[in-house]
A and B are shown apart, each in its own frame.
Chain A
Amino acid sequence: MATVIHSAPAGQASAPPAPERPRRRAKSQYPYWFYLPAGVVYGVLFLVPTVIAFYFSLTRWGLFSQEFIGFDNFVQFFRERALVTGLKNSLIYGVLTSALKVVLGLLFAVMLTSQIIARGWLRSVVFFPVLVSTIGVGITFVVLMDPQEGLINEALALVGIDGPGWLTDPDLALYSVALVDVWKGVGLATVIYIAGIVSIPRDYFEAAAMDGAGAWQRFRNIILPLARPATVTVIILSLIGGLRSFDLIWAMTRGGPGFSSDVIASVIYKQYQAGFWGLSTAGNVILFLAVALIVVPLFWALNRKQVEM
C-alpha cells in the first residue's frame, strides 16, 4: 500500500504569514501562535490555491506546457454552448433546490414541532438521508427512476400515469437530479427550522390562542417572521451547496444526456480530466464569481432586514 501519512503540516514555504508576531509585552494567556498550525494548513491548501487560481485561469495550462494567454479561457468558456449550459444549469439547480428546501423544510418543521404521533422517529427518518453517501443515493435513484422498470414509474402506472424518462429526457434530467438533491438535503433544512421554531417563546402562541388565532394565522404571523434567521441560514447554505453541486449529478447523469444536466462543477471536472487545466481553473474562477455575486449580496440583504425587524 503506497499510502504515507504525514501528520506534520509540511511545506511551510509559501504560507502567507499567520497573524503571529513576537511581542515584548507581558505574555498573554491567549497566544497568537495558536493560530499558526491552522493558519499554515488553511493558507497553503486553501488561500494560496484560491489566489493563484486567478493567475492560472489566464494561462493555457496542460500536462506539458504553460503559457500566458490573457482572457482567452473565459472567451472560450462563454463561446461554447456546452459550457454556458453548465453555468445556467448551476444557477437553476441552486435556486430550485434552495427554494424547495425552504418550503418543504418549513412545512416538515411545522409538522414535526406540532403534537403528532411518532414525532421523534419521524424527525430521524427525515434527517437520515443527510448522512448517507451521496453517490449511493445517486445510484439508488438512477435505478428507481428507470423509465421502464423503475419503482417510481411503476407506482405512477398503478394510478394510470405514464411516467416520463426522468433521467433520459434532456429537458427533465437536471430537474430530476434536483429533486433527489432536495430529497437528500431537506432533512438539514428541517432541523434548522425546528431549532428556529422551538426557540420562539411560548407566550406568543398563548397570546395568539387567547386572541382566537387559527393555525394559519399562527403560522403566518408568528412562525414565519420569527423563524427568519433559520430561513436565512437555509437559503444561504443550500444556495452555496447547490451552486457547487457535483457528486450527485456526476453519479446520476454525468452531465448528460448530451450536456443537458452539466453544471459548472462537472464542467470543471471534465476539463481537468481532458487535460485543459487552464480552462478548468477558469471554470473555477467563474464559479467563485457566481457564488460571490449571488451569495454575498443576498447574505448582506437578508441580514440587514433582520436587524431592522
Chain B
Amino acid sequence: MRRASRYWMGGAALLLTAALFIVPFVFIVLMAFKDRQQAARLDFSWPASNNLVSNIVEVVSARDYMLLTAFVNSTILTVASVAGMVILGAMVAFVLQRRQSRWNGAINLLVLSGLIIPPAVVPTIWVLQGIGLFRTLGGLILVEIAFGLAFTILLFQAFIATIPRELDEAATIDGAGPIRLFFQVVFPLLRSVIVTVIVVQSVFVFNDFVNPLYFLPGDENATVQLTLFNFQSQFSTQWHLLFTDILLITIPPLLMFLFFNKKIVEGMTAGAVKG
C-alpha cells in the first residue's frame, strides 16, 4: 500500500519534470510547422498544415541569405577557437603540471582570475582596434580563445596529473624533444579530456551571443545567435519564421548532444567537482 503510493508519487514527479523540460522544445517544433496566421496565435496547438519547408526556405533566404553566411561564420568561429583553446590550453597545462617553478603560483592565480573576472568589454574593443582586428572574425576567434583558456587549462591540468611521469622519461630516453614529447606522446593520451573540452566549449562558443554582439557587429558578419537577435525585430509579427530560425540553429548543439551525451556528463563531472 505505502509502496504503491510511493511509486505513484515517483511516477508523477517524473512526468512533471519531463513535461517541464520537454514542453518548451515541443512548442518550438510545433511553431516551426505552422503558417503565419496560426503561429501568431502563440498557442500550444497542432499545426493545421505543414509549412516547415516553406518556412525554412523563407528564413534561409531572408536578408540576402544572411543565415547561411551566419552558419559559415559560426562554424569557422567554433572550430578555430576551440582548436586554439585545446592546443594552447594543453600546452600550458602540461608545463604547469609537470614543472615546479616559482612561476606556478602566479600562473595558477592568472588561470583562476580568468575564470572569475568578467571581461572588460570596451577596453577589449579598444585593444582589438589597436591591432586592427576589431570587426573581424579573426579578432573574435582570439577573444573566444582568451576567455575560454582558463576553464580549458583547469580541465587539462587535473587530467595530466593522472598521466605517469615515467612515460615522459621513457620518451626522453628514446630521444624525443619537448615538442615531440608533447604532441606525439602526451597529447594523444589526453583524448578523453580533449573530447570533453571540444564538446563543452564548442557548444559554448556556438551559442555565444555576447562576444559576437560586441566584437563582431554588422549584418554581413553575423553569427547564428545574432541572426535570432536581428530577426527578432524584423520578424516580431512573424513568429513562424522566428521559431523556424530557433529550430535550425538548435540542430548543431542537438546533434552534438546526441553523439556525446555520455561524454559531456562524464567530462563535466570529472572536471567540475575536483576543482
Contacts and interface: CB of A to CB of B under 8 A. Distances in A.
Contacts of B20: 183
Contact of B273 (A30, A117, A230): A230
A250 B8 CA distance: 41
Contact of A284 (B120, B203, B221, B264): B120
A284 B94 contact: no
Contact of B228 (A136, A243, A284): A136
A41 B149 contact: yes
A116 B243 CA distance: 34
Contact of A191 (B73, B254, B269): B269
Contacts of B243: 139-140
B253 A3 contact: no
B60 interface: no
B98 interface: yes
B120 A281 contact: yes
A250 B172 CA distance: 54
Contact of B28 (A50, A131, A140): A140
B47 interface: no
State which size class the interface on A falls in: 35 or more
Contacts of A295: 116
Nearest to A38: B88
A134 B208 CA distance: 8
A37 interface: yes
Contacts of A127: 264-265
A53 B257 contact: no
A206 to B, nearest CB: 21
Interface string B255-275: 011000100110011101101
Contacts of A154: 43-44
Interface string A281-298: 100110110011001100
Interface string B30-64: 01000000000111100000000000000000000
A92 B92 CA distance: 37
Interface in B68-100: 69, 73, 76, 80, 84, 88-89, 91-92, 94-96, 98-99
A231 B88 CA distance: 30
Given A131-B257, A137-B24, A46 B92 contact: no
B195 interface: no
Contacts of A125: 17-18, 21-22
Interface in A37-77: 37-39, 41-42, 44-50, 52-53, 56, 61
Nearest to A280: B122
A41 B142 contact: yes
A13 B133 CA distance: 14
B154 to A, nearest CB: 12
Contacts of A280: 121-122
Nearest to B23: A151
B272 A195 contact: yes
A150 B42 contact: yes
A221 interface: no
Contacts of A268: 121
B36 to A, nearest CB: 15
A247 B209 contact: yes
Contacts of B207: 131-134
State which size class the interface on B falls in: 35 or more
Most buried by A among B18, B95, B177: B95
B116 A240 contact: yes
Contact of A35 (B17, B95, B246, B257): B95
A264 to B, nearest CB: 9
A291 B228 contact: no
Contact of B21 (A42, A129, A296): A129
Contacts of A38: 88-89, 91-92, 149, 153
Interface of A: 1-7, 9-11, 13-14, 19, 27-32, 34-35, 37-39, 41-42, 44-50, 52-53, 56, 61, 108, 111, 116-118, 122-129, 131-137, 139-141, 143-144, 146, 149-151, 154, 183, 188, 191-192, 194-196, 198-199, 229-230, 233, 237, 240, 243-244, 246-247, 250-251, 265, 268-269, 272, 277, 280-281, 284-285, 287-288, 291-292, 295-296
25 contacts: A1-B221, A2-B220, A10-B133, A11-B131, A27-B178, A32-B99, A41-B146, A44-B146, A49-B120, A122-B17, A126-B17, A133-B224, A133-B225, A133-B249, A134-B207, A134-B209, A139-B228, A146-B42, A149-B41, A151-B43, A154-B43, A199-B273, A240-B116, A291-B117, A291-B118
Given A132-B207, A141-B24, A198-B269, 15 more contacts: A6-B138, A6-B139, A14-B130, A29-B178, A35-B91, A134-B207, A135-B228, A139-B232, A143-B31, A151-B23, A191-B269, A247-B210, A251-B232, A269-B213, A287-B118
Interface of B: 10-11, 13-14, 17-18, 20-25, 27-28, 31, 41-44, 69, 73, 76, 80, 84, 88-89, 91-92, 94-96, 98-99, 103, 106-107, 110, 114-124, 126-128, 130-133, 136-139, 141-143, 145-147, 149, 153, 168, 172, 177-178, 181-182, 203, 207, 209-210, 213-214, 220-221, 224-225, 228-229, 232, 239, 242-243, 246, 249-250, 253-254, 256-257, 261, 264-265, 268-270, 272-273, 275
